[in-house]
Amino acid sequence: MDVQPQRADVLLVGGGVASVRCARTLRRHGFTGSVLIVGDEDHAPYNRPPLSKELLRDDLADELVLAEPERWYGRRAVDLLTGRRVTTIDTDAREAMLDNGGRIAFGQCLLATGAEARALPIEGGAHALLLRTLEDARRLRAAVVAADAGAAVTVIGGGFIGVEVASGLAAVGLRPTIVEMASDLWGGLLGAKLADWGAAHLIDAGVALCRGVAVTRLDEESAWIGDERLPHAFVVAGIGVRPRVELAVDAELEVGDGIVTDADQRTSHPAIWAAGDVARVDGRRVEHWHAARDAGERAARSMLSLPVPPLRVPWVFSEVAGIALDIIGQADTWEEERWMRDASVLAYLDGQQVVQLAIIGSVLSPDTARDLVEAGASVHELEDALQS
């Protein structure tokens, strides 16, 4: 007997902030149809930024990282299916197949499958802990608890995750060493001045830096840089992520460094949208919480045929040795990096135009900074904003 599929007017594939924000926005704008979120983790959707910050330092209970309290879903009539994976999507039939053989028929679908941490492609790479999921964060926290006070830890990668993890490890009394292939932190993508600032504060906090070199192999107790051995209690790797595009590829959606969408989050199929780390929106893929949250809201408005606000410049928030760092904008090039307001704001300038900002210690609100970058403000307008 043919079992009829479950029906969802809107199917949200992926248990992250993009799906939750899409569901919230649908309900906020009066949508009364059925909404179903399917996530492959065994947890309700949660926010990822605390995994490398508060959870690592044990400053936050696990339940406080949830994108919404678990009771929220029932109150908003949003169905939540956890621990289940969508394996295929039939775009013609508008039907999704689950890993347990179940089927879900849908009217509209959001793909928010996120990204997965890249594994180390070296001998012994499996010894490295990764940090992407709540379970990863728990494994890392268990390694921290098991380590002796002052134990050495190797952190492979000097990007946002590596810097945040090393900062947190130093804060709990361990001795982390960051090994970064590039000559500067953040792969050199944020310029030399911010990298030098970050390096100085990390060193002051007790983090050692090895830049311009690569780990060539790992064993259970060591990382090797050529013939040099770095002993450690454990090793963490943060070398980037890979968008999880397999569903989109199988469904023959347009894919290229993520699922390709227009500015309204629409994919190449009229019934399917994409948002979050997996989506390349209007030519750019941004792997950060604010972008995922905004994209989920934008997708919901697009599904409802409501006006969709213009895309905003990216906003990334991070920490360096306990100091807040906000990066506003994502400039490909600039002519000058200029410290302002007693070295608490770094302006990236193209001539006299501000194309990107790094804000240290929250001395300028991110909303104001985004307005300035989006308006193509001059350095003089930035100076006025910093004095107001």
Architecture of the domain made up of 119-237: 3-Layer(bba) Sandwich (3.50)
pLDDT for 1 equals 45
Instruction: Judge if 6-116+241-303 and 119-237 fold alike in CATH terms.
Output: yes
Contacts of residue 4, Cβ cutoff 8 Å, sequence gap at least 6: none
Q: What is the pLDDT along the chain (388 residues), one digit of tens a residue?
A: 456 889 999 999 999 999 999 999 999 999 999 999 999 999 999 999 888 988 888 777 777 789 999 999 999 999 999 999 999 999 999 999 999 999 999 999 999 999 999 999 999 999 999 999 999 999 999 999 999 999 999 999 999 999 999 999 999 999 999 999 999 999 999 999 999 999 999 999 999 999 999 999 999 899 999 999 999 999 999 999 999 999 999 999 999 999 999 999 999 999 999 999 999 999 999 999 999 999 999 999 999 999 999 999 999 999 999 999 999 999 999 999 999 999 999 999 999 999 999 999 999 999 999 999 999 999 999 999 999 8
What Å distances lie between residue 59 and 16, 52, 234, CA to CA? 22, 11, 21
Class of domain 6-116+241-303: alpha beta
Dihedral angle computed from the Cα positions of residues 46, 47, 53 and 55, in that order, rounded to the nearest 10 degrees = -10
Which pLDDT value is given to residue 164? 97
What are the domain boundaries of the chain? 6-116+241-303, 119-237, 331-387
pTM attached to this predicted model:
0.94
How confident is the model at residue 61, as a pLDDT?
75
How many angstroms separate the most distant Cα atoms in the chain?
Answer: 73
The 8 Å CB, 24+ separation contacts for 55-58 are 55/137, 55/141, 56/137, 56/140, 56/141, 56/144, 56/164, 56/165, 56/168, 56/169, 56/172, 57/168, 57/171, 57/172, 58/141, 58/172
- Dihedral angle at the C-alpha atoms of 252, 92, 280, 325, nearest 10 degrees? -130
For residues 312 and 370, the answer to whether their CB atoms sit within 8 Å is yes
Residues paired with residue 261 on neighbouring β-strands, in sequence order: 281
- How confident is the model at residue 2, as a pLDDT? 59
Q: What share of the chain is helix, strand, coil (3-state, %, to 5)?
A: 30, 30, 40
Cβ proximity of 369 and 359 under 8 Å: yes
Radius of gyration of the chain (CA): 22
Dihedral (Cα; 130, 132, 134, 139), 10-degree rounding = 0
**Which of these, 88, 116, 11, lies nearest to 253 by C-alpha position?**
88
